[in-house]
Amino acid sequence: MRPSFYLSRIAVTIGFAIAVFAPSPSDAAEVKVLTSRAMNHVLTELGDEFQRGTGHKVTLTLAPPTEIAKRVGNGEVVDVVMSGVTVTNLVQQGKIAPGDRVLLARVGIGVAARAGGPKSDIRSIEAFKRTLLAAKSIVYTDPAVGGASGIHFEKVLDRLGIAKEIKAKSIRNPQAATKPSAEFVARGEAELGIQLISEIVSVPGAELLGPFPGELQAMTDIFAGVLTTAPEPEAARALLKFLTSPAAAPAIKAAGMDPVGL
């Protein structure tokens, strides 16, 4: 079931929960968020609810982790950064105060297949290996852009001893932040796609074949942080408070992620 189906059921709850954050109209702000794709669907779906409850508008810019770090380092005006280890690095660099970093969710890596197509078995390590070897083509995030799924997938290929065979028939996607690998699968340009689960379930025409089998799985922590240079720090903190509230948890779950601390 698509995440949007769940959201209609929780809209009333969300509206009630974020009403406590509502400022007067004169206090409304634009919260600029620089994020990797993992949280994109959640933010897109809940951004309007947050705005209706608080008056604050959320503006999203998608970028891979390495580009996020570069843009912040170059002084781009932004309030909130959402990613994995990039946010932790920005805390260490003094660009995000430790108290302004929160853990939003955890998400695993999955395999995308074309909707309505054959469903190969990937439940065990051996079945997963067979499916990869049998696939005509595979697309995954280029590790050079810092995507967690691509970096881990290449480690898995080395562990399984099939790196040479798989890389020879793979597409390394350098634009996964704006053009998810699951879209290649939906268009029939690749048979399988490797990506964070939350980046698969929101793509029309593609579906989640399943997560990586247990021993091969790697969970990614999705952090958010308010930059010390944020033009709208209080509105940014209100957004993070909302995203870590029980009201946001159903949307995070529907996007294929595990809410943290709820």
Domain that holds residue 81: 3-106+220-259
* 100 lies in the same domain as 225: yes
117 and 190 both lie in a single domain: yes
- 123 and 49 inside one domain: no
Out of 181, 199, 216, pick the residue that ends a domain: 216
Same domain, 43 and 78: yes
CATH of the domain at 141: 3.40.190.10
75 and 19 assigned to the same domain: yes
3-state secondary structure of 184: helix
- Looking at the structure, do residues 162 and 174 belong to the same domain, yes or no? yes
| Residues 212, 88 within the same domain | no
Considering the domain architecture, whether residues 49 and 135 belong to the same structural domain is answered as no
- Residues 11, 24 within the same domain: yes
Edge-first strand order for the sheet with 170-173 is 170-173, 138-141, 192-196, 109-114, 206-211
List the chain pLDDT tens, one digit each, 262 residues.
Answer: 444 434 444 443 444 444 444 555 557 899 999 998 888 889 988 998 899 999 999 999 999 889 999 999 999 999 999 998 899 999 999 999 999 999 999 999 999 999 998 899 999 999 999 999 999 999 999 999 888 999 999 999 999 999 999 999 999 999 887 889 999 999 999 999 999 999 999 899 999 999 999 999 999 999 999 999 999 999 999 999 999 999 899 999 999 999 986 5
Give yes or no: residues 228 and 138 share one domain. no
Q: Clarify whether residues 224 and 102 are in a common domain.
A: yes
- The model's pTM: 0.82
How many helices (DSSP H) and strands (DSSP E) are in the chain? 10, 11
